[in-house]
Amino acid sequence: MQVHWPKGSSTMPNSSSVSEFLLLAFADTWELQLLHFALFLGIYLAALLGNGLILTAIACDHRLHTPMYFFLFNLALLDLGSISTTLPKAIPAFLQVEYFSLTQAPAELCLLLLHREMSHRPGCV
């Protein structure tokens, strides 16, 4: 293999670019990976079910259309948004090595920060 240097330069120019990063598995043994997968999947599904029930109950019962339940409705909606931003992409990473593109990570971070900022302003939703 022959390396061609630019004229007048004694060092190789830095022309490398990174387009993705590697997310390694959480544990080395398959049993621990399955345990983490099942644990986080259970937590995610419980959060989806709980927040979905809160949203459904408040939306369907007209006696719950008070300011306190409006606030609770907003919190449940924001919790659904923030947990659904990160966990669906992270749960499969417990079982295998994942590659993330550099455009996915900032988009996920922006969505997470948006949900966090909206939680400080409950009237925004």
Give the CA distances from residue 19 to residues 28, 99, 105, 109, in Å, rounded to whole numbers and listed in that order. 26, 10, 11, 17
Mean pLDDT (the chain, rounded):
77
**Residues 92-117: pLDDT tens digits?**
777 776 666 667 677 777 777 776 77
Q: In this model, does residue 61 exceed pLDDT 60?
A: yes
Q: In this model, does residue 47 exceed pLDDT 90?
A: yes
Q: In this model, does residue 87 exceed pLDDT 60?
A: yes
What does the domain layout of the chain look like in residue ranges?
A: 22-124
pLDDT attached to residue 48: 95
d(CA 84, CA 89): 9
Residue 87 and residue 40 in contact, taking contact as beta carbons nearer than 8 Å: yes
